[in-house]
Amino acid sequence: MNGSTATSATAPLASSSSMDQDCAVKTAVEASEANDPVLRMNSIDLAAFANDGYEIRFLDEQVGKGVFATRKFSKGDLVLVDSPIVTCQFAWNKQYKYRACEYCLRALETAEQNVRRLTQNQTLELPHPECCETKTELHVKCDKCPAEYCSEDCRKKAFEEYHKVLCYCGEEPQEPVRILDEYWRKIHYPPETGNVWLLVKLLARLHLDSSNTIAKRLSEFCHSTTNDDEELAHKSLGEEFSVHIHNLRELVVNVVNYPNVQQWLTPDGFLKLFVLIGRNAQGVGTSSFATYVEQLEKLELHPNEKKALLDHIDNIYEVIDAVVGHFLDNEGVALYPIQSWVNHSCVPNCEVKFPNKNHVVGLVASRDIEAGEEIEISYLDLADMQRSRYSRNKYLKEHYLFECKCPKCMEQIDDEEITTDEEDEDEDMSDAEAEEDDEEMNN
């Protein structure tokens, strides 16, 4: 995100379990994959980013840039599709064997394998296996390390973009890699909001990017003051953030100490890159079981048979909830060249989707959008969207350092600026549930 309104990895995760995959969306996504927007990043001319019904405009010094519709969109239309500069699975998510493509985060488990792991029931069988979209026959591994990919295409892309210098050439990671991974997991327990390895991959991309297109794009992301950087780092890493930032920088230097990325490895440069990613990254979620359920719901069956089938699925979800709580999906984070410019509103006109079941993001119109209207999403989850103006802006100020001035917030500007008792109770319950889920994950 740009200016003072930045999308963050802490923004609500848009999971494949909530996505519609109609033909129009899929076609547009596939077209995007064939026309990676990263290749268009060699110019800071905003007109160069105008494409397929949207354009980037400069708003003001405080907000920065925004994305605007150049034609009318109807509710349900795919407004924007974007492929990330870099993607990374969450560390604990990977540690607990949530298998995803190392490059695009597509689920690697079959639906049945997925649900057996989540329910801890190795005898569970799913009906209608034809509804599972996982193509295990296409899966490949790196020749030199355990990295897994959903296809040869993803393996090649990963190798060319970063893996050729990050591959540790063995079954077990080398000491600097292992220590960095362990340190990050030690200071960043679930529920996860980021991964330092996104920063490492980005540095590797910068190192291998002879045309400097990635570096030019990074220069267009928001650049905040040192005080803002420290405030956001404090929010992400806790009271000992200065110690953690110092230690993380030293550990990252041991992994990617390339001559052409030294500006990002100084104490100030590292803090800025760390915060830049935190302010601009987007959560990604995929699930082979959720995709299976979507296909199952499309089957034309006798009503009684369909009801029995869906009741069975509901029972499975209840068991999953009892075993792993809300940790259902393969989860990670990605940094997008175009989507990162989409600003927040408490009354957004678009929703974040992942219609191709990987890291390619799509913004779908949640209502009709007129030409010239700004394209906006919400950085808040559905529950937080229903809270008071004070509570919404408290979260936005803490995580993104801005106060929302959308129509909803302006309409409620005279509301009493206190958090209601009911909201406090909700927060306490959410914290308690999160602690219980953490305990379940660690058992």
Q: How far apart are CA 80 and CA 104, in angstroms?
A: 18
Confidence of residue 238 (pLDDT cuts 50, 70, 90): low
Q: What CATH number was assigned to the domain covering residues 45-83+336-410?
A: 2.170.270.10
CA distance 276 to 2: 10
Can you tell me which residue has the tokens 């050439």? 169
pLDDT of residue 99: 98
pLDDT at 133 > cutoff 70: yes
- Banded model confidence at residue 46, pLDDT cuts 50, 70, 90: very low
* Strands 361-365, 350-353: pairing kind: antiparallel
Higher pLDDT, 2 or 413: 413
**pLDDT for 350 beyond 90:** yes
| pLDDT for the residue 226 | 60
Kindly state the average pLDDT of the residues 405-414. Answer: 91
Q: Any idea what the Cα angle at residue 325 is, between residues 323 and 330, rounded to 5°?
A: 100
Residue 163, pLDDT score = 98
What integer pLDDT is reported at residue 417 of this predicted model?
62
Residue 283 pLDDT greater than 70, yes or no: yes
**Could you give the percent of the chain with pLDDT greater than 70?**
78
pLDDT for 311 equals 97
* pLDDT at residue 43, as a whole number: 30
Confidence band (pLDDT; 50, 70, 90) for 241?
confident
With a cut of 90, say whether residue 334 has pLDDT above it: yes
Distance CA 109, CA 116 (A): 10
pLDDT of residue 146: 95
Mean pLDDT across the chain: 84
- Burial environment of residue 148 by CB neighbours within 10 A (0 to 12, 13 to 18, 19 or more): middle
Confidence (pLDDT) at 224: 59
CA neighbor of 401 nearest in space, from 234, 196, 191, 198: 234
CA distances from 45 to 48, 216, 223 (A): 6, 11, 18
Conformation bin of residue 76: beta by default, left when phi > 0, alpha when psi is -120 to 50: left
Among 65-74, 222-231, 276-285, 385-394, the range of highest mean pLDDT: 65-74
Contact in structure between 195 and 90 (CB atoms under 8 Å): yes
pLDDT in tens, 100-121: 999 999 999 999 999 999 999 9
Model pLDDT for residues 255-273, shown as the tens digit of each residue: 999 999 999 999 999 998 9
Residue range 365-392: average pLDDT? 93
pLDDT at residue number 3: 39
Q: What is the pLDDT of residue 425?
A: 56
Q: What percent of the chain has pLDDT over 90?
A: 64
pLDDT band at 381 (very low <50, low <70, confident <90, very high): confident
- The C-alpha atoms of residue 269 and residue 163 are separated, in whole angstroms, by 23
Q: Return the pLDDT at 201.
A: 98
Going by pLDDT thresholds of 50, 70 and 90, the confidence category of residue 232 is low
256 phi and psi angles, rounded to 5 deg:
-130, 55
pLDDT at 161 over 60: yes
Question: Residue type at 155?
Answer: R
| Least confident interval from 22-31, 65-74, 284-293, 392-401 | 22-31
Residue 32: pLDDT above 60?
Answer: no
Higher-pLDDT residue of 424 and 320 is: 320
Residues of the chain with CATH 2.170.270.10: 45-83+336-410
Which residue, chain included where needed, has tokens 């869906």? 310
